[in-house]
Amino acid sequence: MDARRESEPTPMKNRTTVERKSERELVVTRTFHGPARIVFEAWTKPELLKRWWAPKSTGVSLLSCEAVVRVGGRYRFEFGHEASKPMAFFGRYIEVTPHSRLVWTNDESDDGAVTTVTFEEKGGKTLLVMRELYPSKEALDGVIAGMEGGMGEMFEQLDELLVTLGASVGRS
């Protein structure tokens, strides 16, 4: 039954926007065709979160997803291609207001953002706004410069190559 439902086209696809609102803030928005209590439920029940957080198209699978959604509760998502080397995202919920607001920390590093998600219902639709506020401009710049492991790694290799080339040119 699920398979059939998932193959049905969504009535009207809404646009997702991402904007760097300030030196240390990213804002993601999207409207959903449903009441806030339902969208909120999909963000707060681990078994539902699991279904949409790691879409197949990204090529990464969610290995585990735990979330105790209450103030002070912790979450931990593990991604990866193999269970032996998972990539973990974890933190703590610091604000949980049913159907309207969720705030959590991202504790993977000291430069992690605080994420605030608001759910605003209007005429049966819900506008979702996710704000990620980084501790500094440098923290967000760092994420943008090296977020993807692959990309960061490739540019590191390139840097090394440039250093080697520089050294060899210098000698000649």
Partner 1 sequence: MVQYTRARFDASFAALSDATRRGVLEQLGRADASISDLAEKFHMTLTGMKKHVGVLEQAGLVTTQKVGRVRTCKLGLRRLEEEAAWIERYRQLWDARFDVLDQVVEELKRTEKVDGRKKRE
**DSSP bridge partners of 131:** 27, 116
Residue with tokens 């197949």: 56
The CB density around residue 132, as the number of other CB atoms within 10 Å, is 20
Examine residue 150 and tell whether it contacts partner 1 (CB under 8 A): yes
Among 108, 138, 147, 160, binds partner 1 (CB under 8 A): 147
Q: Binding pattern to partner 1, positions 116-145, x when CB under 8 A?
A: --------------x-------------xx
Residue 71 or 158: which CB sits closer to partner 1?
A: 158
Q: Binding pattern to partner 1, positions 49-78, x when CB under 8 A?
A: --xxx-x-xx--------------------
* Chain centre to alpha carbon of residue 7: 25
Tokens at 83, concatenated: 């269970």
Among 71, 83, 88, 161, binds partner 1 (CB under 8 A): 161
Query: CA-CA distance, 155 to 63, in Å (whole number)?
Result: 28
Piece of the chain touching partner 1 by CB under 8 A; list 3-11, 69-77, 87-95, 99-107: 3-11
Size of the site for partner 1 (CB under 8 A): 43
Question: Do residues 75 and 88 make contact, with C-beta atoms less than 8 angstroms apart?
Answer: no
Residues 6+ apart with CB under 8 A from 23: 137, 140
Query: CA-CA distance, 121 to 36, in Å (whole number)?
Result: 5
Examine residue 86 and tell whether it contacts partner 1 (CB under 8 A): no
Examine residue 82 and tell whether it contacts partner 1 (CB under 8 A): no
Q: At CA 60, angle to CA 56 and CA 66, rounded to 5?
A: 100
Catalog residues that contact partner 1 under the rule CB under 8 A. Answer: 2, 5-6, 10, 13-14, 16-20, 26, 28, 30, 32-34, 38-39, 41-42, 48, 51-53, 55, 57-58, 130, 144-145, 147-148, 150-151, 154, 158, 161-162, 165-166, 169-170
